[in-house]
Copies of this chain bind each other. A is one copy, B any other.
C-alpha cells in the first residue's frame, strides 16, 4: 500500500523542488533579460512582469513531471529540473493569454498583467487606448513565455539528455508529447471559449459532456497527464507505468478542475485571490453550471440564465446563484464526482507499483490538488 510522505511537508516541496525550479527560472529570465536589453532597456518591464507571475505559481505541473520521471527511475538532476521549469513557463504563457481572452482583472491576488500595463499607460497619459496597450503587452509577454518554454525544454534535452541517460528515441518521444500537450491545450482553450459563446449548445453534445470535454483537454491532460507522461517517457517508463500515469492523471486532473470550478463559485476571495463570483460573471460553462441547468426548475433556470455571463452581477446576485447550485443538488453531485475521481486516481496509483517516495508524493498530490481552498 502506498504511504503518504512526511505530513509536515507540502508534497510540492519534497526534494526542495519548488525552490530548485525557481533557481532555473531565475537563470532563464536573467539570460532573456540580456537579449531584451539589446533591443532596448524599456522592454525590460516585460521580463519583470513574467518574473512576478512565475514566482507566484503553485508548481503543480513541474511536480507531476518530476515525479513522473522519478517514479520511472530517472535520476535527480539538471535535466528534469529544466524540463519541469519549461512547463511552468508554458503555464505562464497560458495564463497571460487566458487573462486577455477573459478580460480578467486579477491573477493570484494581484492585477493581471494586461491590467497592470493598462494602468501604467493611463498613469503616464500616453496616446491611444490604455486597454489595447495592456492587451498588446500581455500578448507579447505570453508569446515570449511560449518561446522560452520551448527553448528551455529543447535546450535541456540537447545539453543534459546524454548525461541523464536519455537517448535520441526517448528525446523524440518526449518532444512529441510536449508538442501534443501544447497543441491540445490551445484547442481545448478554444473549445472553452466556444462553449461560453454557444452556452454549451455546440456540436450536438449534451452540455455536461461538452463541459467534461473542455476539462479533459484544457485541464486533465495538460495539468496532470501530459506532465507525468513527459517525465515518465523521458525516463523510459514501461507501458504499464505510462498507462497507470494516464489513469491517475485523467482522473486527478478532472477532480482538480471540478474543485477549481467549485472554488470559482464558493471560494473565499481572501484565499483564491480572485473576486467572489468572477467565474459566474465570465459565464464559464463548467460541469457545475451544466448540472445546475439540467436539474433546474423554471425559476432556477431563469436565475441562472440571467446571472451567468452578466458583467454587473453583484454580491446578492452571486449569493442567489450559490443557492441555486445547492438547491438543485449540482454542488453535491460535483462533490460526488470529485470523490469518485479521487478514488480512481488512487486506485491507478496503487496498481502502478512505483518506488516508495514517488508513490508517496503522487498520493499526497491527490490531496493537494483536490482538497485545497485556493
A residues contacting B by CB (< 8 A) are 32, 35-36, 38-43, 46, 93, 97, 100-101, 103, 121, 124, 126-128, 132-133, 135-137, 139-140, 142-144, 146-148, 150-151, 154-155, 158, 168, 171-172, 175, 179-180, 182-184, 186-191, 193-194, 196-199, 202-203, 213, 217, 283, 309
Bound together, the chains give a CA A168 to CA B158 distance in angstroms of 9
A192 to chain B, nearest CB (A): 9
Whether the Cβ atoms of B190 and A137 lie closer than 8 Å is: yes
Whether the Cβ atoms of A184 and B135 lie closer than 8 Å is: no
Taking A101-B136, A103-B132 as contacts, is the C-beta distance between A127 and B190 under 8 angstroms? no
Whether the Cβ atoms of A147 and B148 lie closer than 8 Å is: no
What B residues does A213 contact at CB under 8 A? 39-40
Main secondary structure of the interface of A (DSSP, over half): helix
Whether the Cβ atoms of A150 and B150 lie closer than 8 Å is: yes
Taking A35-B180, A35-B187 as contacts, is the C-beta distance between A97 and B309 under 8 angstroms? no
Bound together, the chains give a CA A143 to CA B190 distance in angstroms of 11
Whether the Cβ atoms of B203 and A41 lie closer than 8 Å is: yes
Bound together, the chains give a CA A97 to CA B139 distance in angstroms of 7
What B residues does A144 contact at CB under 8 A? 183, 186-187
Bound together, the chains give a CA A46 to CA B168 distance in angstroms of 32
Taking A193-B136, A196-B127, A196-B128 as contacts, is the C-beta distance between A40 and B187 under 8 angstroms? yes
Chain copies in the assembled complex: 2
Question: Ordered nearest first, which 7 A-B pairs have the shortest CB separation?
Answer: A39-B187, A101-B136, A126-B197, A147-B182, A43-B187, A136-B193, A151-B179
What B residues does A142 contact at CB under 8 A? 143
Whether the Cβ atoms of B126 and A189 lie closer than 8 Å is: no
What B residues does A103 contact at CB under 8 A? 132
Taking A39-B184, A39-B188, A183-B148 as contacts, is the C-beta distance between A101 and B139 under 8 angstroms? yes
Whether the Cβ atoms of B143 and A191 lie closer than 8 Å is: no
Q: Which of B35, B154, B171, B198 contacts A126 (CB 8 A)?
A: B198
Whether the Cβ atoms of B187 and A137 lie closer than 8 Å is: no
What B residues does A38 contact at CB under 8 A? 184
What B residues does A197 contact at CB under 8 A? 121, 126-128, 133
Bound together, the chains give a CA A40 to CA B182 distance in angstroms of 15
Whether the Cβ atoms of B139 and A309 lie closer than 8 Å is: no
What B residues does A139 contact at CB under 8 A? 97, 100-101, 139
What B residues does A140 contact at CB under 8 A? 97, 101, 186-187, 189-190, 193
Whether the Cβ atoms of A101 and B187 lie closer than 8 Å is: no
Whether the Cβ atoms of B193 and A133 lie closer than 8 Å is: yes
Whether the Cβ atoms of A199 and B127 lie closer than 8 Å is: yes
What B residues does A189 contact at CB under 8 A? 136, 140
A91 to chain B, nearest CB (A): 13
What B residues does A46 contact at CB under 8 A? 187, 190
